[in-house]
């Protein structure tokens, strides 16, 4: 679950937080998003799926300020071992993610998770 400080200032309509992260060693990235559960941003979800990402996790919850949130995780399989990304796929996918998310006014900084975060 993504940490939300507040639901009063979404980063895009219906989108509160977006995190682009990979488990170590950091070749295959996923998109983690906290969205408005009462009115999920269909255009945002469609854009993630349009890049070849599929929803692999969905969990609704109520934020401490009473707003209903849905935590969605998107994953895109690659052609490397265990459906990971090759270096070329990583470069192309990260560039495409940046372009698509920028269309929503969202800027992300892809990161590699710590071992503790990735495998808790």
- CATH assignment at residue 79: 3.30.70
- % of the chain surpassing 70 pLDDT: 96
Q: Which residue has the higher pLDDT, 119 or 18?
A: 18
* Pairwise CA distance, residues 82 & 75, whole Å: 13
Q: Which residue has the higher pLDDT, 38 or 118?
A: 38
> Would you state the structure tokens that stand for residue 113, as one six-digit string?
């998770």
Whether the predicted pLDDT of 12 surpasses 60:
yes
Q: CB 97: neighbour CB atoms within 10 A?
A: 23
The domain of 77 spans 15-107
In a domain, 112, yes or no: no
In a domain, 66, yes or no: yes
Whole-structure pTM value = 0.93
* Pairwise CA distance, residues 20 & 11, whole Å: 14
Q: 20: helix, coil or strand?
A: strand
In a domain, 22, yes or no: yes
Whether the predicted pLDDT of 1 surpasses 90:
no
Q: What is the pLDDT of residue 3?
A: 64
pLDDT band of 64, cuts 50, 70, 90: confident
In a domain, 39, yes or no: yes
Whether the predicted pLDDT of 4 surpasses 70:
no
Q: Is the dihedral of CA 95, 96, 101, 103 positive or negative?
A: positive
In a domain, 72, yes or no: yes
Task: Provide the number of structural domains found in the chain.
Answer: 1
Ramachandran sector of residue 105 (left: φ over 0; alpha: ψ -120 to 50; beta: rest): left
């Amino acid at each position: 679950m993504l940490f939300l400080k507040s639901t009063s200032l979404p980063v895009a309509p219906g989108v509160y937080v977006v995190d682009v992260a990979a488990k170590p060693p950091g070749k295959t990235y996923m998109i983690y998003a906290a969205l408005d559960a009462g009115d999920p941003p269909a255009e945002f979800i469609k854009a993630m799926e349009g890049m070849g990402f599929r929803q692999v996790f969905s969990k609704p919850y109520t934020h401490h300020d009473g707003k209903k949130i849905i935590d969605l995780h998107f994953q895109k399989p690659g052609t490397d071992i265990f459906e990971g990304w090759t270096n070329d796929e990583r470069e192309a996918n990260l560039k495409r993610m940046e372009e698509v998310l920028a269309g929503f006014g969202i800027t992300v900084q892809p990161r590699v998770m710590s071992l503790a975060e990735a495998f808790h």
